[in-house]
Structure 1
Amino acid sequence: MSARADIHENAAWAAARPAVSVLMPFLRDDPTDLLAALETEAASLRGAVEVIVLDDGTADIALTQRLTAQIDAMALPVRLITLPANEGRAIGRNRLAGSARAGSLLFLDSDMRPDHPNFLRDWAALVANSDPAVAFGGFSLLQAPTDARFQVHRALAAKSECVPCAERAKQPEKYVYTSNLLVRRDVFESEAFDPGFTGWGWEDVEWAMRVSRRFAVVHVDNPATHMGLDTVAALAGKYEQSAPNFGRMVQRHPEVVAAYPSYRVAKLLKRLPGLHLLRRGLRGGAEADWLPVATRAFSLRLYRAALYADAV
């Protein structure tokens, strides 16, 4: 651990002997609702699950104080790591894993909400019964906001991320996201996240490509809702950040990425003259709230592919 990190643990931390470590990074989010949801299972878990929260440079003293007070009152064993500056998604998750004590690591984003009251117990039972190398529990939109400004993201997520367990299992390495992902410690120690991925996107998919060559990736039905839906403008900004990461993934796994629709479309768009003008028009179409949601979602998918055209 870096000397710059401030570490706070609650009273339950020292005596716990966890089998599962929940690893929860956040940046400028408020994880208090998720912590409260997990705490409802504390009595039945009896120290079998610990939670490690990483504030990756939010620099919000009031939030840190609220979090510390909440954690001190929790029966779940919890450690809070507060960083003064952002280190990034890949490095942050590697840091969380290094702080964990359990044999299995559950990566859970702070904007997720369990979809049923036995969420942690089901993960702990899976570890006790079969101890999988890698298991993904799935996404849903069950509790996600239904505001009109999030309709495009909701449509995109419903199509590409909220995939039933049986469908995910057909392409196990493709449907792996660190928002609800269980990884056995020895697997993570042999294949950590690539710190060369910076900003937003693709570090978890690239990691899964490497891991799936050596270990079985299983899919289970233990979903959580992705609460953090974005506006079109915010999502487009994330896509812009993700283009270099997509290019890095193409360089490392060309044979796998070649089968991705986003790659094939990006290669086609790369041949078009005036690509920068096309990108502007596609983003404008995605942001036009008078168009049907399906049309806007399609335009945003094409905008992402047009961004990726520079990276393939």
Structure 2
Amino acid sequence: MNAMTEIPMREHANAAGLLVRKPGLSILIPFYGDDPRPLINALGPMAERADDFEIVLYDDGEPDPELNRAICAHIDRFDLPMRVLTSARNRGRATGRNLLASAARADWFLYLDADMIPDDGAFLERYRRAMADDVADAIFGGYVTADAEHPDQILHAALSRSSDHHDATTRNAVGATAFCSSNVLVRASVMRACPFDQGFSGWGWEDTDWAVTASNGFHLIHVDNPARHGGLQSTDELLAKFKAGAVNFRRLLDRHPELSGLPGARAARTLKAVPGQHWLRGLWAWTSRNNALPLRLRTLAVKLWRASWTSEVL
């Protein structure tokens, strides 16, 4: 893996993290400003023995040094092996996940986002059974979206629930494109053979690219073992993210032309054929931001905004 080793990295390990060499599972948690301590606290009681699993965290650029210090102090209180890897510069989502895979010591990895919480106490036990039964090479457990804590996050919550909340039966019918890079259980050997493509920058689509690529040589399945996902963003943050993510969607289609039938690609091609459609972006942005309008209308507006920017790069 090209881990951009010229950028300085440091590592902080707790006492157990210095001793345990072969845990049963490596739980890999990238973060950028989010606080993973609630997730660590939720996972701790699920350990069956001292070497049941390790937790490896990756701070991508250390935007909050105080938070980094607090997390390092927090893991020192645990008897489970835990480490914090810190990069001096932000490397991005794909590179961060590859760095975590390089640092992990188990034969199985579980990627979780820092703002996730397992939906119940049997979360890890379900994955243990899946590993023992050898059911697949990679497994996506799905997720549910936390409630919005601020009115400006309501649109993101509604969009997530309408687009991404599907049970395993529905997701298995869709296949690899229904995978996300969070709450994924995957063999270490798969990650060695198929790392994340570090040509994706910023937000979006590196997880879809990884899953589609991995599905060509490995067995990927969906199960119902959700984690609750926080990290809801404001409408302005969402609009900026979708605008910036258009170039990544183009990279996805360039690498996988067979995905040209995805709904986002079809919508973008349709808008590209509409003269002057880019003048409507102001209306779609205004509609998305207007809390007085029905959520369904605001959700449609943000989807049109995303498709419009994607049309620019197709």
Shorter-chain-normalised TM-score: which range? over 0.9
Q: Deviations over 1:13-34 (max 9, x none)?
A: 2225312111100111111111
Kept in 1, the 8 Å contact 2:21–2:105? The answer is no
Alpha-carbon deviation of 1:222?
0.9
Counterpart of 2:225? Answer: 222
| Alignment correspondent of 2:136 | 132
Matched, 1:106 2:110: yes
Structure 1's unaligned 5+ residue stretches are none
Deviation string 1:175-222 (CA, Å, 9 cap, x unpaired) is: 110111111111111111111000000000011111111111111111
Q: Aligned match of 2:60 in 56, 61, 71?
A: 56
Q: 1:272 to 1:45 in 2, by over 3 A?
A: farther
Are 2:188 and 1:185 aligned? Answer: yes
Tell me if the contact between 2:204 and 2:248 (Cα under 8 Å) persists in the aligned partners. Answer: yes
Q: What's the counterpart of residue 281 of structure 2?
A: 279
TM norm structure 2: 0.94
Once the two structures are superposed, the pairs formed by residues 150-229 of structure 1 within 5 Å of their partners are 150-229=153-232
Counterpart Cα distance in 1 of 2:287 and 2:148: 23
Rounded to whole Å, the distance in 2 between the matches of 1:290 and 1:144 is 19
- How many residues align structurally? 309
Q: Is the 8 A contact 1:152 1:294 kept in 2?
A: no
Amino acid paired to 1:233: D
Distance in 1 between residues matched to 2:123 and 2:79, nearest whole Å? 17
Instruction: Quote the residue 1:115 is aligned against.
Output: 119
**Cα deviation, residue 129, structure 1:** 2.2
Matched, 1:247 2:250: yes
SS at match of 2:57: strand
- TM-score (normalizing by structure 1): 0.95
Answering whether residue 16 of structure 2 is matched by residue 7 of structure 1, we say no
Q: Residue 299 of structure 1 corresponds to which residue in structure 2? A: 301
Query: Secondary structure at 1:178's aligned position in 2?
Result: coil
Any gaps of 5 or more consecutive residues in structure 2? none
Corresponding residue of 1:24: 29
Q: Do the aligned partners of residues 41 and 75 (structure 1) sit closer, same or farther apart at CA in structure 2, a change above 3 Å counting?
A: farther
Q: In structure 2, the residue corresponding to 1:58 is in which secondary structure?
A: coil
Aligned residue type for 1:155:
A
Identity within the alignment, %: 37
Q: Deviations over 1:139-166 (max 9, x none)?
A: 112x433543222111111111111111
Rounded Cα–Cα distance in structure 2 between residues aligned with 1:120 and 1:145: 26
Q: Are the aligned partners of 1:16 and 1:48 in contact in 2 as well (CA < 8 Å)?
A: no
Cα distance in 2, alignment partners of residues 122 and 98 from structure 1? 25
Find runs of 4+ consecutive structure 1 residues off by over 4 angstroms.
none
Give the conservation status (yes or no) of the 8 Å contact 1:25–1:55: yes
Q: Deviations along 1:43-94, whole A, 9 cap, x unmatched?
A: x243121110000012422212211111000122111001111011111111
Give the Cα separation in 1 of the matches to 2:270 and 2:124: 44
Which whole-Å CA distance do the structure 1 matches of 2:173 and 2:50 have between them? 36
Q: Pick closer, same or farther for the CA change 1:59–1:288 going to 2, 3 Å.
A: closer
| AA at the equivalent of 1:288 | N
